[in-house]
Structure 1
Amino acid sequence: MSQSKLKELTPGKLQTLSPQLRKAARYVVEHPDEIATRSQRFVADTAKLPAPTFTRLAHAIGYESYDGLRETCRIEVLQNRTVLAEKARKLVDTNKEDAGFTVRHAAATIRNTEALIASLDPTTLDAAAQMLSRARRVALLGVMSARPIMDYAMYLANMSLPGWRIPGRSGHGLASDLADLNERDVAIVFSIEPYAAQAVDLARNVTEQGVPLLTLTDNPLSPVAEHARHCFYIGTESPQFFPSHVAAMVFFEAIIGMVIQMKGNEAQQRIAAVERQNHRLGEYWQDKPARTKGV
């Protein structure tokens, strides 16, 4: 049984399990470190489930025993520690006398970004970028804390990819903008826990009208992942109360850059035209020579 079996526990597949097994599966996906390092009895008590439930879950998803599931979690935790902790450890080691909040926050964002990189499958990422490159329009859908990230993504994309838009802006209604989308377009939904109800509804609505969906979220069991053609995951760990969005910005900068590369001259010409217009409108600050008084 491969490590990817845990990542295959999507919301759709979760629905084939009994309610008790679904609860156990969510616990495994969200707490692989507990499965890897704690006894089955401890895990069951913490999850408030009977211990045999986890054995039945292991059988239901293709393991011969609970030990096989536990070994998968152990490997995942060890790999993540090796890949994710290196830069954070170096950062903290260079600030041993003052490893305060700023250092801990920076270390967390590094781990989140490393987690994103480690989880990316190049073939899937390329397929997602190709889908975006071919799309007539790309609808950027983000609610609550995801909204400013989508604003940034739209600003970045709009210099070279004029079809990228946030529905419901520029005097248009959200419903009318969404009604114009079809199978030739793509919708991107970004949502992390606690998931915005509107984001979940938007993800469901666009797929029901045949629009290909790309999602960025924090968990394979996220409700916005269920209908996605391509789904990517980020870490949001932060020492403060609010989840970090740094890895999300890295993702959007990267995938928009890939789409620009695929668009080639078309994107380059658009960027040049926007830049010329910015110069004409005086958008860029320029140091003007000091005036000299006449004699």
Structure 2
Amino acid sequence: MPSPQQARAQASAITSGKTAPETGAAPMSQLRALFDGPRLSPGHRRIAQYLIEHITEAAFLSITDLAERVGVSQPSVTRFATAVGFSGYPALRERLQSIALSVLGSTPSTPAEHRSNELQAAVDAEIENLENLRRDFADPDQVIEVGRALSRSTPLTVLGLRISGSLAEYFAYAARRVHPDVRVVTRGGSVAYDALLQSRAAGGTWLLAFAMPRQAQETLTALRVARSAGLRVALVTDLGLGPLADEADIVFATGTGSRLVFDSYAAPGLMAAALLQAMTDADPERTQGRLEEYEQIADQHQFFLKD
């Protein structure tokens, strides 16, 4: 089975016209194949979802009518067509019409069924991401090594800007249970640079960064600041190549779910948990002592509901 990067490259080749979609595939599978490869913005995904749910009608709409139905501008539709590998909307509509005619000649389905299939397809895509991660974990040495390094870095800084902030917050919240000084950075610009420089000045040696699509320019700048300050960088992202990866010492490439309007992060979340596990195993005595101390404080102040 291809890696997430290989799968994206193959899908991108399909949508750009370099490789035709599988002719024997079901019409709806052909339609989804058009939109799987590109890394679409949330606005573009709305257009893709509308086309999937209303293909037999939408394929014959003018660009003006389609934009009005989806609630976007006409330039957005044109940019969407380009993003999925076509020269413009007329070329995309021609391809959509051939798929729509195939749908009309097959067993009828309802928009509700299309939506249900899209949700199932999103789950299937995440299962594939997890399967790829499982194969990566067949050799866990790199995860273990980085977990030890993160455990030794005091302070340990965790970076996640824009939508990646949720993963950074999750990791930092758990890491504080087993590490004495974890600093999380979820604001970009000079605030991030100041935090990174302070972390290095305080003795920190590593930065753990999360960068999910769509990667922010300010994340790239922050990584460069961290590297220039002398911090080593471990990066959890969706691609093993690119400008962000070029600024990292270690890259953990994990696929993200991109079937829905907004990405889902089953595999990156599991990668974060695996790095946390490696940190706890790096210093078992400190881990146990800090966890027991935290449980005592939690009981004393009634942080959690009783079972």
Alignment TM class, shorter chain as reference: 0.5 to 0.7
- 1:154 partnered with 2:172: yes
Which of residues 210, 216, 223 is equivalent to 2:230?
210
SS across alignment from 1:42: coil
Contact 1:146 1:191 in 2 (8 A): yes
- Which runs of structure 2 are paired with 1:142-291 in the superposition (5 Å)? 142-167=160-185, 174-182=192-200, 184-286=204-306
- 1:134 partnered with 2:110: no
Deviation track 1:91-134 (CA, whole Å, cap 9, x = no partner) reads xxxxx9x9634432222221122222323542322221221122
Contact 1:207 1:227 in 2 (8 A): yes
Q: Which runs of 4+ in 1 moved over 6 A?
A: none
Deviation at 1:153, TM superposition (A): 1.0
C-alpha distance in structure 1 between counterparts of 2:259 and 2:205, whole Å: 38
**TM-score, with normalisation over the residues of structure 2?**
0.59
Deviation track 1:60-89 (CA, whole Å, cap 9, x = no partner) reads xxxxxxxxxxxxxxxxxxxxxxxxxxxxxx
Could you tell me which amino acid in structure 2 is paired with residue 103 of structure 1? Q
C-alpha distance in structure 1 between counterparts of 2:140 and 2:306, whole Å: 41
**TM-score, with normalisation over the residues of structure 1?**
0.61
Deviation track 1:180-212 (CA, whole Å, cap 9, x = no partner) reads 233742101111232111111111110111101
SS across alignment from 1:221: coil
C-alpha distance in structure 1 between counterparts of 2:252 and 2:186, whole Å: 25
Contact 1:116 1:247 in 2 (8 A): yes
Contact 1:168 1:177 in 2 (8 A): no
Could you tell me which amino acid in structure 2 is paired with residue 118 of structure 1? R
Gaps of 5+ in 1: 8-27, 44-95, 288-295
Deviation at 1:168, TM superposition (A): 7.0
Deviation at 1:279, TM superposition (A): 0.7
Deviation track 1:236-268 (CA, whole Å, cap 9, x = no partner) reads 133212222121111111110111011101111
Corresponding residue for 2:27?
Answer: none
Deviation at 1:276, TM superposition (A): 0.6
- 1:103 partnered with 2:120: yes
C-alpha distance in structure 2 between counterparts of 1:30 and 1:239, whole Å: 13
Counterparts in 2 of 1:167 and 1:244: CA distance versus 1, 3 Å: closer
C-alpha distance in structure 2 between counterparts of 1:174 and 1:125, whole Å: 26
Cα RMSD, aligned residues only: 3.3
Corresponding residue for 1:42?
Answer: 18
Q: How many residues align?
A: 207
C-alpha distance in structure 2 between counterparts of 1:42 and 1:283, whole Å: 57
Identity of aligned residues (%): 21
C-alpha distance in structure 2 between counterparts of 1:129 and 1:228, whole Å: 15
SS across alignment from 2:18: helix
Could you tell me which amino acid in structure 2 is paired with residue 132 of structure 1? L
Gaps of 5+ in 2: 20-112
